[in-house]
Structure formats: C-alpha cells, structure tokens
Amino acid sequence: MKIILRGLLLLALVGIGSCNKQADMKNRVDIILVTEGSGITDKSFNASAWRGITHYFGDTPESTKQRSTHYENVRAGSLDQIMDAINIATDEHPRVVMGTGFTFEDAIQRAGSMYPDQYYFLIDGANGDLDNVRAVLFKEHEGAFLVGAAVALQAMEDGIENPKFGFVGGLQGDVITRFELGYIQGILSILPNAVIEDYYAESWGSPDRGKTKAKAWFNNGFYAIFSAAGETGNGVIAEAKEQRMAGKNVWAIGVDSDQHEDGIYNASGDSAVLTSMIKLVDKAVIDTLRDLDQGNFTGGTFHYGLLEEGVSFSERNPALSPLVVEQTHMIADRIRAGELTVFDTYQATQDAGLIPPGLTLS
C-alpha cells in the first residue's frame, strides 16, 4: 500500500526533477507545499499559502508559469498519509518543505529531526526546538474577535431582536479553539446576552455536514454563522446563499481568505458572506521565502497577530455598514495598543465569564 501511495503522490511532482536522493541540487525547486484535505483549491487556508508562493515568484494561482521550476505542491489524501507526503517532498531536496495546518506538526518535527540539513516551514504549529524548522502561529483569536464584533454590530444596525450566532469547526484543536474563542468574545463585547452555539463536523472536507447544520440553524432564527472548517465551511456559505435568495437576512462569515466571491448568489454580485476573518498566511510565506533568499532563514516559532499585520477582516461586502467597519477598526486599534485583551485559551476565557453554556468547546 505504501508503495502505491508513494507512486500516486509522486505524480504530483512530475517535472520537478528526479526522485533519486542524488538529485541535482542546482536544479532543485525552492519550495514544496504539502497539503491535506481539499488542497490548494480549498478557497481558504491552503489557497492562501499557495497564493503567497505563486506571488513571490511572479505568478498567480491561475497562472503558475514557475511551477516545477521554483515551487510545487504535494497533497496527502488523508491524515494518515501526511508523513509519507512529507518524506516524498523531502526526497526532492527542495530548499524548504512547507506543511499547512496543525495536523502537520508531528510529521514536520519528525522529519526535521531526521534530516537536519533540510529546511522545513510549518503553519499553525510549533517548531519543536529544531534549528531547521520555522513555525508560524497566528493570533486567530484577535481576527475572530473582529468578525464577531462586526457581525454583532451589524445585527444591531439591522434591528435584529435577540440575534443568534453559530460557529462551525472542522476538527478540534488549539488553532480552531482560538478561532471560536475570539468570535465568542467579539460577539459578547457588543451583545453580552447573545445566544451562541457551536458544532464540530470532525472533518475538513464535508461541505454537506456544514450545509445541513447551517440550514437547521438558519431555520431556527440564527443571524450569522462563522466557520473555521476548511471545505466543510463551504457548505455553510452554500446554505447562506440559498437562504438569502429566499429573502432571509442571514449571513455566513468567511475564514482565512476573503471568501466574498464564494458567497455571490445573484447577477447583481450580492454576497452571502458578510465579512471574512483573513489570516494572512500568504504574508508569512512571502516573509519566509524572502529570508531564505537573503540567507536569513532561522528556526523558531513566529507569531502573527494584528500588531504584526497577520490577521484582519474583510470590508469588501457593501452590505457591511460603513459605521460597523469604522467601529471594528477602532476595536482593532485597541487590541493593537494593548487596551483590549482577547483571551486565547478556554480556561482564561471561562475565568473571565465569557463562555456561553452548552458549547461543544471545552
């Protein structure tokens, strides 16, 4: 089975050189991005990483002229294939192997220990104290606070009485916990008595589960749903589009990338995605590739938040009130200045009395 798997994964690397460990180092690619789930077409997290890579080399995700010359992608078909995919990418001797998501943490750390001369780059995990592994952690709770506050402010402006809010997660973990905690705190900072519920699909690639839960919530009077669930969250957006086409004032909130276009549901260009919590993975990628080229690549764990311009929110939807946008920027300024604390752990948030009853989150 492993031999078959390696053969299938190697098909993704056609054109970048020999698989032999004696590959010509002069012709090696600069970076191989290893993804899982829906890969670089997820329109969210992985797509942001791919956008950063292509941009750095003068391409776009739609026009990848430098692919196989400067960069490539390997996709693991499932979680248990991640280590194999990392090893296959390592066998190609790129300047750096990149993994996206906390599910890559163990594999990147293992590979970093086994191959100390190979550079690795990890998004959403720790580097394991390895000099050849650079890891980036984002302050998702800060960006999620902004979209939570924004959607609560919009509900007030729309005159919604007792609005309800939902959160859809993919797999539970520290990263997704920070998304949910920030979102909750943002909502409660505006509407202290708001009803908030959550749901974990236990999958990054099940849009049907996201859509089913969103339909139930919207039909039960929910105003907005924020997803941090990869392709599963696309199901929430799909349901929000149908609900808005039927005349309901409900919203989806995008994640990682600006998902405004994914929410467009009519010829006028109206979108069911009110705003998106943008996680600037592409910026972290560009920073790392620049350091690599300048000989400044170092291991360690780097943190990207509002102060580091690592997270933000989308203002693209004209349905998002200008006043709400202005107020949300004011909130962001307070977070940057340290005047407003956004808790990033369940315990700290609970101690502050900001965990609604009945959540799956624990």
* 362: confidence class by pLDDT, cuts 50, 70, 90: low
> Does the pLDDT value for residue 20 go beyond 50?
no
Q: Which of 159, 174, 196, 57 is nearest to 124 (CA)?
A: 174
For residues 34 and 86, the answer to whether their CB atoms sit within 8 Å is: yes
CB count in 10 Å sphere of residue 308 = 16
Q: Which of 3-7, 21-25, 276-280 has the lowest mean pLDDT?
A: 3-7
Residue ranges per domain, the chain? 2-138+281-304, 140-279+321-351
Alpha helix positions (H), the chain: 2-10, 45-56, 82-91, 105-114, 140-157, 174-190, 207-219, 232-245, 281-293, 322-336, 346-351
Quote the pLDDT of residue 24: 53
Average pLDDT for residues 271-292, to the nearest whole number?
96
What would the pLDDT profile of 27-58 be if each residue is shown by its tens digit? Answer: 689 999 999 877 898 777 899 999 999 999 99
- Provide the CATH topology of domain 140-279+321-351: Rossmann fold (3.40.50)
User: In the CATH scheme, what is the code of domain 2-138+281-304?
Assistant: 3.40.50.2300
Decide if 2-138+281-304 and 140-279+321-351 have a common fold. yes
Question: Distance between CA 352 and CA 294 in Å, rounded?
Answer: 44
This model's pTM is above 0.95: no
CA distances to 192, 194, 275, 276 from 189, rounded to whole Å, are: 6, 10, 18, 19
Extract the tokens encoding 237.
């957006």
Q: Which residues contact 250 (CB under 8 A, 6 or more apart)?
A: 218, 222, 223, 224, 225, 240, 243, 244, 272
Q: Which residues contact 301 (CB under 8 A, 6 or more apart)?
A: 126, 127, 135, 136, 137
Question: Distance between CA 87 and CA 55 in Å, rounded?
Answer: 26
24 DSSP 8-state letter: -
What would the pLDDT profile of 151-196 be if each residue is shown by its tens digit? Answer: 999 999 999 999 999 999 999 989 899 999 999 999 999 999 999 9
Question: Distance between CA 312 and CA 310 in Å, rounded?
Answer: 7
